[in-house]
Amino acid sequence: MSFITSLTRMWLTRSVQPFTFKNEYDQTLPFAECENLGLYVHIPFCKSICNFCPYCKVLYSKELCEKYIDALVQEIHLVGSQHAGKKKVTSLYFGGGTPALATNRTKEIIDALKEHFIISEGIGLELHPDNVTVDVLQTLKDAGVTKISIGVQSFRNKFQSILGRKKIDISAMRSALEAVPFETVSMDFIFALPGQTYDDLKSDIDEAFASGANHVAIYPFIDFTFTESPVAAMPKKEKRELLDAITQYCLNKGYSRSSIWTFSSVPDANYSSMTRDNFLGFGCSATSLFKEQFKINTFDVESYFERISIGKLATSLTIRFTKRQRMIYWLFWTAYSTKVEASDFERFFGVPLKKMYGFELWLAKRLGFIKEDEGTYEMTLKGAFYYHYYEHFYTLSYIDKMWGIMRKEAFPERIEL
Ligand SMILES: C[S@@+](CC[C@H](N)C(=O)[O-])C[C@H]1O[C@@H](n2cnc3c(N)ncnc32)[C@H](O)[C@@H]1O
Ligand code: SF4
């Protein structure tokens, strides 16, 4: 598995040099020069921990959460004040864990960010279904949140219990969403669970759109090596049939595919913290991506407190990209939206896409993975499946390895991928 990703990496970066993350960091971050910069805030608390979940999360306690938000606000000012004036950014996303558990302080965090940044494309936040109440939604809306994403996973009790989660009260959720509308209401589903059929998935999607969602994310189940989930992954052939069938169903219904795994029922609904050229992350495990480097904060809450309390950034690892590595990173995440504009690549790197990857584009067209229309490369259904398939390898060889180490060591010496 890692053999495939290593070979692809060597081919596309034209180098045998691995992605090397080192235990060193810049105290001053180069975000002022970045265009199309997004913000991300990580809140790692959950009321109960799901055994399949790979994210950086800890069991909620009010005291710990309050202490964490204090540190987070300090980190925001520490970074934000590195550059004079207010920097224009696209969006702000709160991810977790369960950021809705800190609703009482969401406004304070947004206000701290607004002292340094001008947010032009809205604010998104993740909720657990238990958090979807009129009170919570109204407080979030008053704080400036415009998009919400709810971790439904499945409306079928059978799959909720396979995942070790509780039954969802759909009618309570629907009436809260009716009472407090948002620009985007996204619901997360997990597919390729044991025994899951096309009808199961189809009825989940129908139910989501009938219950107040205007956007759905259908994530393939990933069995991370460091989680203790007993859930077995679905075989490739079955998974492909399910993904193709559900994609076709959504497209026939007139929903637009806003990324590999997301569909919207209205054109303006979108929810993606991934497809941005650069981003700046705050909190434990948050990552930041700039023109020449990528950095990741420590996963350990106590180490995060220690660093921030002495005015130092909580960066655990940094990778300084070669030009080709950065290009691959850009292409990989831009392709997540199922479309790549050659002009965007040239604007970002100052060199034509065809000049750097002409052969690969030709091959991808010949293999039926992409279609080209005047410099716009769009993924076909086949291409989307293979992207999804490769993404799975990437997740298991890169993210699995990195997160597996980071959840045990606050500041690892070095990681090579
Ligand atoms: C941070 S959680 C969402 C908010 C909230 N914590 C919740 O669980 O309802 C992000 C999403 O990641 C997805 N996810 C978590 N573990 C996964 C796995 N092993 N494979 C695929 N998707 C997963 C779930 O769909 C989940 O809703
Ligand atoms: S899936 Fe959501 S609630 Fe469950 S552990 Fe992960 S972040 Fe927490």
Specify if 313 maps to a domain: no
Question: In angstroms, what is the span from residue 96 Cα to ligand 1's centroid?
Answer: 9
Sequence length of the chain is: 417
Residues 387 and 361 occupy one common structural domain: yes
Rounded Cα distance between 403 and 417, Å, is: 12
Question: In angstroms, what is the span from residue 43 Cα to ligand 2's centroid?
Answer: 11
CB of 50 within 6 A of ligand 2: the answer is yes
Specify if 299 maps to a domain: no
Which two three-digit tokens encode residue 64? 């710990």
Question: In angstroms, what is the span from residue 265 Cα to ligand 2's centroid?
Answer: 26
Residues 260 and 343 occupy one common structural domain: no
What ligand 2 atom has the least distance to the C-alpha of 128? 3
CATH code, domain with 129: 3.20.20.70
CB of 154 within 6 A of ligand 1: the answer is no
Specify if 278 maps to a domain: no
Q: How many domains does the chain have?
A: 2
Residues 237 and 370 occupy one common structural domain: no
Query: What is the structure's pLDDT at 243?
Result: 85
Rounded Cα distance between 273 and 259, Å, is: 11
**What residues make up the domain containing 123?**
21-264
Residues 65 and 145 occupy one common structural domain: yes
Contact 37, 278 (CB under 8 A): yes
Query: What is the structure's pLDDT at 329?
Result: 85
Q: Is residue 318 within a helix (H) or strand (E), and if so which, with residue range? A: strand 315-320
Question: In angstroms, what is the span from residue 398 Cα to ligand 2's centroid?
Answer: 21
Ranges in the chain, pLDDT < 70: 1-16, 273-275
Q: Strand ranges (DSSP E) for 47-201? A: 58-59, 87-89, 92-96, 117-119, 123-127, 147-153, 184-191
Contact 116, 80 (CB under 8 A): yes
pTM above 0.95, yes or no: no
